[in-house]
Amino acid sequence: MTIHTAFELKPLHPDFLISEDGLFVAGAAGSKLIYALDSKFRRMAFAAGAEERMFPTVIAEETLNRSEYFKSFPESASRVIEPSRKGQYFLSPAVCYHCYELLKNSVLSGETLITCCGKCFRADSADDSHLWEFTMREIVFFGSAAFIREQRDAWKQRIFDLSARLGLAAEVVAASDPFFGAETRGKRLLQQVKELKYELRVQRPSEKDMPLASFNLHERFFTSKFDITIKSGDTLHSGCVAFGLERWCMAMIEKHGVEKALRLVEKVDDLR
Amino acid sequence: MGSDATSASEPLHPAIESLLRFVNEGLLADSEKKVESDTPLFDEGWIDSLKILRLIAFLEVTAGKKIPDALIVMDRFRTIETIAKNFLNQ
């Protein structure tokens, strides 16, 4: 008799395995593809003027509280129990929260772009496109409202073009799922109508479509909560672009198979 | 941005006029900001999360039917004229 456990990995594909609890293991080719994709996004971020930062996988409860994370996503964050530490921690549900904490109470000298990549954890659902643990590359922008919108829209176009060159049948659509600070219907609808969040979604062979990236305007939400300002005295807004690397890997392998996926990722010029 | 509905020579359609009055005298009663029928409603933060619900409630009562959340998007809510065209048959 075979005993199946929630953490047992099932081979969804020869190049990646996923457990019932939403854990992902990449094979040799899958790993190579994920690194190649991230390298592409990272180079694009540098070309746009971003500086890189590295952050811990855990995040302080205080940072998530300040971001009102628990109001927006009450069931999502995974708590870390470690009695020997002084602080209370969770596994990071997104990398960008670390950026706001890093810049807390600071005055930026000008428009700022930060890129970062890390493991993220969301426990509210688990299936083969909603992993509990996944890898997220982000580019976070700080500047005027016009600068943030310009950046967001440029990235939207840039990544859509990249997905087309990678042969993915993807489209950019306004998202309607709950976003930061959208704990009430009014806030959620206001975000929806203001198109604060767009997603690049790809059609999967046998299932519904899956988001590969999101393009987000935060308005003053994070800069006001973390008291981040800019030397010019202008009202400081923020925004971000986020890529789910395992989803890009799955989409590329499902569409092309591993060999062609790798060839395409290595061949496509990302700096156009 | 201008249209026949806002030109001085033609009166506003009653649906647009009534919606404009609701927005300026109701939603924005405590604000110095006033909008025209072709003013972008969501560019300057005049409409907050409570005001958008009041606006939807007004439209639902006026049109006599519920508006699904999926239809509350910029293409249908950009200006008073757009809203009237999409939800008040004007």
CB contact under 8 A, B49 and A193: no
Cβ partners under 8 Å of residue A51, min gap 6: A113, A114, A115
Amino acid A232: pLDDT: 94
CATH of region B11-28+35-87, choose from 1.10.1200.10, 2.40.30.130, 3.40.640.10, 1.10.3720.10: 1.10.1200.10
Amino acid A270: pLDDT: 61
Amino acid B31: pLDDT: 83
Q: Does A185 touch chain B (CB under 8 A)?
A: yes
Amino acid B3: pLDDT: 45
Amino acid A21: pLDDT: 86
Chain B residues with CB inside 8 Å of A190's CB? Answer: 42, 47-49, 52
CB contact under 8 A, A187 and B49: yes
pTM for this predicted structure: 0.86
Q: Point out the residue among A176, A184, A185 whose CB comes nearest to the CB of B70.
A: A176
Amino acid A7: pLDDT: 63
Instruction: Give dist(CA A237, CA A226) in Å, integer.
Output: 12
Chain A residues with CB inside 8 Å of B73's CB? Answer: 174, 192-193, 195
Chain B residues with CB inside 8 Å of A174's CB? Answer: 73-74
Coil, helix or strand at residue A98: helix
**ipTM for the complex?**
0.84
Amino acid B57: pLDDT: 95
Amino acid A184: pLDDT: 82
Low-confidence stretches of chain B (pLDDT beneath 70):
1-11, 90
Which domains does chain A show, CATH number per domain? 9-55+95-267 (3.30.930.10)
- Residue B66, CB half-sphere, CA atoms under 13 Å: how many? 3
pLDDT in tens, chain A (272 residues): 344 456 666 666 677 888 888 888 888 888 999 999 999 999 999 999 999 999 999 999 999 999 999 988 888 999 999 999 999 999 999 999 999 999 999 999 999 999 999 999 999 876 777 899 999 999 999 999 999 999 999 999 999 999 999 999 999 998 866 566 667 889 889 988 999 999 999 988 777 789 999 999 999 999 999 999 999 999 999 999 999 999 999 999 989 998 999 999 988 876 55
| Complete DSSP assignment for A146-187 | HHHHHHHHHHHHHHHHHHHHTT--EEEEE--S--TT--SHHH
| Complete DSSP assignment for B2-70 | --GGGSTTSPPPHHHHHHHHIIIIIITTTSS----TTS-SSSSS-S-HHHHHHHHHHHHHHHTS---GG
Kindly report the average pLDDT of chain B as a whole number.
85
Residue of A nearest to B71 (CA): A193
